[in-house]
Amino acid sequence: MRGLMMSGKLLISTLIVHADRHHGDTEIVSRRVEGDIHRYTYRECHRRTRQMANVLTGLGVKDGDRVATLAWNGYRHLELYYAISGMGAIIHTINPRLHAEQVAYIANHAEDQYICFDLTFLPTIKLIAAHCPTVKAFIAMTDRAHMPQDTGIANLLCYEDLMDAASDDYTWPTFDEETASALCYTSGTTGNPKGVLYSHRSTLLHTYAAALPDTLNCSALDVILPVVPMFHVNAWGLPYVACMVGAKLVFPGAGMDGKSLHELLETEQVTMSAGVPTIWQGLLSYMETNGLTFSTMKRTVIGGAACPPAMLRKFQDTFGVHVLHAWGMTELSPLGTVCAFKSRQLETSLEERYAVQAKQGRAVFGVDMKVVDEEGTALPWDGKTSGALLVRGPWVVSSYFKSEDKLDLKMDADGHGWFPTGDIANIDADGYLNITDRDKDVIKSGGEWIGSIDLENIAMAHPAVFMAACIAVKHPKWDERPLLVVVKKPNVELGRDELVAFYEGKIAKWWTPDDVVFIDALPMGATGKILKKKLREQFADYVLPTI
Amino acid sequence: MRGLMMSGKLLISTLIVHADRHHGDTEIVSRRVEGDIHRYTYRECHRRTRQMANVLTGLGVKDGDRVATLAWNGYRHLELYYAISGMGAIIHTINPRLHAEQVAYIANHAEDQYICFDLTFLPTIKLIAAHCPTVKAFIAMTDRAHMPQDTGIANLLCYEDLMDAASDDYTWPTFDEETASALCYTSGTTGNPKGVLYSHRSTLLHTYAAALPDTLNCSALDVILPVVPMFHVNAWGLPYVACMVGAKLVFPGAGMDGKSLHELLETEQVTMSAGVPTIWQGLLSYMETNGLTFSTMKRTVIGGAACPPAMLRKFQDTFGVHVLHAWGMTELSPLGTVCAFKSRQLETSLEERYAVQAKQGRAVFGVDMKVVDEEGTALPWDGKTSGALLVRGPWVVSSYFKSEDKLDLKMDADGHGWFPTGDIANIDADGYLNITDRDKDVIKSGGEWIGSIDLENIAMAHPAVFMAACIAVKHPKWDERPLLVVVKKPNVELGRDELVAFYEGKIAKWWTPDDVVFIDALPMGATGKILKKKLREQFADYVLPTI
């Protein structure tokens, strides 16, 4: 027997309609590529979103067509988010930090019809323009006055010109909520990039879950600045969350340096932000160097890579900003777990609470997770036994876009498919996830695992260390041993022996890195993650002193 | 094109599985009909829920069958919530405060297969047992030691006996999320009671929305005591919300008096509660008389009827408990709006904020609302223009259970059906709903509406008034004029003229009630609402002094 409730569909257009209707005066503030600060309201944003839907309809965009963006976080990008998905097409957010060949590969694989881009990325567009046969035109996200001249790009359109010519009379269509809404390729540390195709349903469910008090805890009282890019898993869902709850949105554009970020956080009275550890490292260094503080920031979400405990303490103890340590993936829309406390933990010591916060936290309702051994048997939740992390839920990928090789879901006895995350983790009795490694980054010494993240976290706690990465180096006796690669802070002294000694008493003796190498900069991926694969290649022939 | 996400279904069983898996040690505490306090954990609750699913399967309960409850808020009721819905049957929560004939009517209309009841309601069961042909057995929610003797009921079973005999090995089935999960009849102030049939999907979406920061703001740090009964719109969804977020649950059982409630709120360190104004009136009176305070209570949800501003101030100013004024209906699962602040309002004066809080608040994401005139034209959101309130969304009723006459949904130009709530309201520019009347309670004087709720709220602010209701009385010149019916606090003096004078300067002069009648008690419905229909009958021939 079916229930007798209305059939209201979970569609992305309902988010911007709600924001307009219930928070029409709430602001959206953007630092523009053109150099200035732009501000308008949800009402105006919705109006222009409807105009853009008419623009795209006029350009022949149909249900299911892919329209790509190569853009910073900004209001025009937000308009494209809602216009493209809302009309039934698919927004394909491309990471502009990728090499031009990779951008072209992705655009061709996705068969993009149009590519909208911020002026910053014109050089990339110039390189790919002749190599993307499906692209009918490139749309520069700027006005007539800022349009580049003599680009050599055959079909170059101007975003604001198109907008000016379009009506704002548009009614959002209703369709099946399983319809695809957005496409995001994983950065592809191995093989070609793979596309994750989100649906309206998965996005709306993820948005509800993301806004919950124990997840990102967003309300109409919040001012949200997503540092995490809108080209990277939809800025962890924040552009959707903000509309659902009516929070003010602040977009940093290209200003991702410490100074620009701090200025915007302060002038716009931001209460909440989100990003990867490497970006925060830059902001915190800038603030410490210049003796700055936060006046409105309440909390920040840190994910994308494990948050070093030293950074956690700096945010909380020095700057009074609560850290929400989170774990997710492109394949998870992205939220899997967030580290929110349980009542009991609030009564424990500061040290015990920091130990909890160093973990990635509890599963958001909707996501189910387990760790399994090599035979696929579920491991106990004892906070010690590590295994491969598997997840499932309505915002978890079931297969990749146009993927020839089927995604290798792990089936359980009840017939449920589980997505293998590629992470190695343990889960404690309270359900707190602790990622100990990526399975490809694991160091296997004498048949036992050494957690590279633990070793990096200890190094990061040393006052002279700016960044650290730990990789496996071949060893004739132990098979692999850990090598620590470190970037020092400017103008400090730090030697190999001092750093090795720093591990004493903090970890099992045989986990201690066999050697330390100091370099000027770590290789970074397009989403701000350290590329350990590159490091391993670089140090493939490194000879450890213990050999 | 469809998205490529997993098909995870929105099913009620996933809530109790999540609570067990991630909050297995969190407590559920119940004041039992047997007299004592019972406590166990989500893990144990889930175990017994699986046992109960086996019990019901053994009793022949199949998909879509209705199993009824006549019970207080307690752990066994919670087990039935999850066992019955989880297995694919329908839990039918009957209001035990209804007359026996009404209970029988509803049970027969729903074709209930079993009726589970708390011992308190044995007298009702005795009266109806012979008149419910579809009911195969009545299940007393108690243990063998407390089973009533010589009841004369042919098929009487013992809940704990059945439980003891059942295995806890049960796997929750997967089925379409639109499947019916629960049935609740509206109290039916006019005509026969009408059944609202919720689905798994509507319940899960409502649960996500209900837990949001600007709705009920529930987290694992909360201890929730639902005063609102589980037989009344699923205790406003709190038994589902608590499982989703892992909050501790405290059930008051039959102890709904001020003393019992206050004791439980304190000993169990409750942080959040929810109920109708009349229940709170009892608790606050008891606390003031005995000079008591709250030590852990942070907020309370007040809905079911408009919250008098005087009660709002008492909670916040005297007791330091933040009030969430809410509006909902059985037909809305029930949440429609909750009064959470916007940033701007936090900077206004205390008086301005109280004026906002006196309204029922903003639409929860998922619910769309509008006020319309008699022709169905949408009225402006100006905070003044009142009209009929219409709503739509995925947890709003589309038709009543086995209803011969179709529900009269109002269609708009886009083909959407809107549910006519029967409330008269206005909405302000910020989207805050203000219910001014039930359409059946409206007082129409000289062709203009007088808002009975406004008049009652003013009376409630008088220190000598315990309760007040305002009704229309016939008037030869003005058609109708307001009559105020008042219950005084014990041992106070209050005259008609003093109370009429109290209105001066607070309201348009012509709104002032024409007369005041003092009575000992107001007629109350089964859900704690004042029965104005009864009052109107009682005072049908009342002659106003102004005639």
pLDDT confidence of B409, banded at 50, 70, 90?
A: confident
Q: A235 to chain B nearest CA, in Å?
A: 18
Contact at CB, A221 and B342, closer than 8 angstroms: yes
ipTM for this prediction: 0.90
Nearest-by-Cβ selection for B212 from A2, A211, A395:
A211
List the single range of A25-29, A322-326, A437-441 with lowest mean pLDDT: A437-441
The half-sphere exposure of B528 on its side-chain side, counting CA atoms within 13 A, is 21
pLDDT of A437 = 83
Q: How far lies B439's CA from each of B390, B434, B532, in Å?
A: 12, 14, 12
Q: At what angle do helices B238-245 and B13-23 cross, to 10 degrees?
A: 40
The rounded distance, in Å, linking the Cα atoms of A68 and A445 is 45
In DSSP terms, A466 is beta-bridged to: none
- pLDDT single digits (tens) B435-459: 988 778 888 887 777 888 889 989 9
pLDDT at B188 over 80: no
The backbone torsions φ and ψ at residue B195, rounded to the nearest 5 degrees and listed phi first, read: -90, 130
- For residue B394, which residues of chain A lie inside 8 Å, CB to CB? 5-10
Highest mean pLDDT among A434-438, B374-378, B427-431: B427-431
Chain A positions in Cβ-Cβ contact with residue B392 (cut-off 8 Å): 6, 8
User: Rounded mean pLDDT of chain B?
Assistant: 93
pLDDT digits (tens, 9 = 90+) for A450-475: 888 889 989 998 999 999 999 999 98
Q: Which of A4, A9, A214 sits opposite B401 (nearest CB)?
A: A4
Stretch B108-115: mean pLDDT: 98
Nearest to A219 among B213, B219, B244 (CB): B213
By Cβ distance, the residue of B7, B245, B400 closest to A212 is B245
pLDDT tens per residue across span A169-228: 999 999 999 999 999 998 655 567 899 999 999 999 999 999 999 999 999 999 999 999
Tell me what pLDDT residue B145 has. 95
Rounded to whole angstroms, the Cα distance separating B385 from B395 reads 27
The shortest CB-CB distance from B212 to any of A196, A245, A395 is to A245
Average pLDDT over residues A260-269: 97
Question: Nearest-CA neighbor of B251 among B118, B412, B108, B383?
Answer: B118
| Cα angle for residues B196, B201, B206 (degrees, 5° grid) | 75
Rounded to 5°, angle at Cα B478 from B473 and B484: 35
CB neighbourhood size of B522 (10 A):
18
What average pLDDT score do residues B515-541 get?
Answer: 87
* Chain A residues touching B112 at Cβ < 8 A: none
Closest residue, chain B, to A331 (C-alpha): B5
Q: Please report, in angstroms and rounded to a whole number, the separation of the first and last CA atoms in chain B.
A: 71
Q: How confident is the model at residue A244 (pLDDT cuts 50, 70, 90)?
A: very high
Q: Which alpha helices (DSSP H) does B413-487 contain, by range? A: 452-460
CA distance A421 to chain B (A): 14
Say whether A4 and B395 touch across the interface (CB within 8 A): no
Q: What is the pLDDT of residue B190?
A: 54
Find chain A residues with C-beta within 8 A of B214's C-beta.
219-220, 245-246
Query: What is the reported pLDDT for A188?
Result: 55
Instruction: Based on the residue annotation, tell me whether B267 is a catalytic residue of this protein.
Output: no
A201 to chain B, closest Cα gap in Å: 9
pLDDT at B527: 67
pLDDT value of residue A490: 87
A7 and B394: CB-CB below 8 Å?
yes
Most A CBs within 10 Å, among B41, B84, B364, B365, to test the A interface: B365
DSSP string, A371-421: EE-TT-PBPP-SSS--EEEEEESTTSBSS-TT-SSPP-PEE-TTS-EEEEE
- CB atoms closer than 10 angstroms to residue A428: 15
Whole-number pLDDT of residue B140: 98
Q: Which of A191-205, B392-406, B414-428 has the lowest mean pLDDT?
A: B392-406
Distance from the B336 Cα atom to the nearest Cα atom in chain A, whole angstroms = 14
Distance from C-alpha of B357 to C-alpha of B52, rounded to nearest angstrom: 43
Q: Is A109 a residue whose pLDDT tops 70?
A: yes
Q: Is the pLDDT of residue A405 over 80?
A: no
Number of continuous H segments (helices) and E segments (strands) in chain A: 17, 26
Q: For residue B446, what pLDDT is reported?
A: 78
Tokens representing B84?
A: 């019955």
Query: Which tens digit of pLDDT belongs to each residue from B235-252?
Result: 999 999 999 999 999 999
Active-site residue, B179 included: no
Mean pLDDT of B259-274: 97
Q: Which residues of A touch B90 (CB under 8 A)?
A: 1
Would you call B220 and A340 a contact, using CB atoms and an 8 Å cutoff?
yes
Residue B81's alpha-carbon distances to A22, A410, A479, B246, B394, in angstroms, are: 34, 32, 56, 17, 21
Percent of chain B past pLDDT 90, that is, above it, reads 79
Q: How does B468-494 read in b/e, with b if 16+ C-beta sit within 10 Å?
A: bbbbbbebeebebbbbbbbebeeeeeb
**Beta carbons of B219 and A213 less than 8 Å apart:** yes
Q: Is A478 a catalytic residue?
A: no
Question: Residue A18: is its pLDDT beyond 70?
Answer: yes
Residues of A in contact with B202 (CB under 8 A): 3, 5
Q: How many angstroms away from the CA of B342 is the closest CA of chain A?
A: 6
Separation in Å, CA of A333 to nearest CA in chain B: 10
Strand partners for A518: A486
> Cα–Cα distance between B369 and B389 in angstroms, integer?
7
Using the predicted structure, report yes or no on whether residue A348 has a pLDDT greater than 90. yes
What confidence tier does B374 reach under pLDDT thresholds 50, 70, 90?
A: confident
Whose tokens are 């916007």? That residue is: B342
**Exactly one of B189, B266, B449, B533 is catalytic; which is it?**
B449
Whole-angstrom distance, CA of residue A189 vs CA of residue A186: 8
Residue pair A348/A365 in contact (Cβ under 8 Å)? The answer is: no
Predicted pLDDT of residue B290:
96
Of A180, A220, A396, the CB nearest to B342: A220
Instruction: Note the pLDDT tens digit of each residue in B275-298.
Output: 988 889 889 999 999 999 999 999
Known active-site residue A331:
yes
Mean pLDDT of B118-146: 97
Alpha-carbon distance of A339 to A431, in angstroms, equals 10
Residue B129 has a CB neighbour count (10 Å cut-off) of 18
Question: Which spans in A301-370 are helix H?
Answer: 309-313, 343-346, 350-357
| Band of residue A432 on the pLDDT scale cut at 50, 70, 90 | very high
**CA A262 to CA A283: how far, in whole Å?**
7
Say how far apart CA A9 and CA A6 lie, in whole Å: 9
Q: What is the dihedral of CA B346, B350, B356, B362, to 10 degrees?
A: 30
Q: What is the pLDDT of residue A404?
A: 59
User: Taking residues B342-369, what's their average pLDDT?
Assistant: 95
Which residue matches tokens 């004078």? B501
Please give the Cα distance from A8 to B428 (Å, whole number): 25
Q: Which of the four pLDDT bands, split at 50, 70 and 90, describes residue A491?
A: confident
The mean-pLDDT minimum among A68-82, A202-216, A506-520, B138-152 falls in A506-520
Instruction: Express each pLDDT in A117-173 by its tens digit.
Output: 999 999 999 999 999 999 999 999 999 999 999 999 999 999 999 999 999 999 999
Indicate whether A400 pLDDT > 80.
yes
pLDDT at A197: 97
pLDDT for res A88? 98
pLDDT of residue A529: 76
The CB density around residue A253, as the number of other CB atoms within 10 Å, is 23
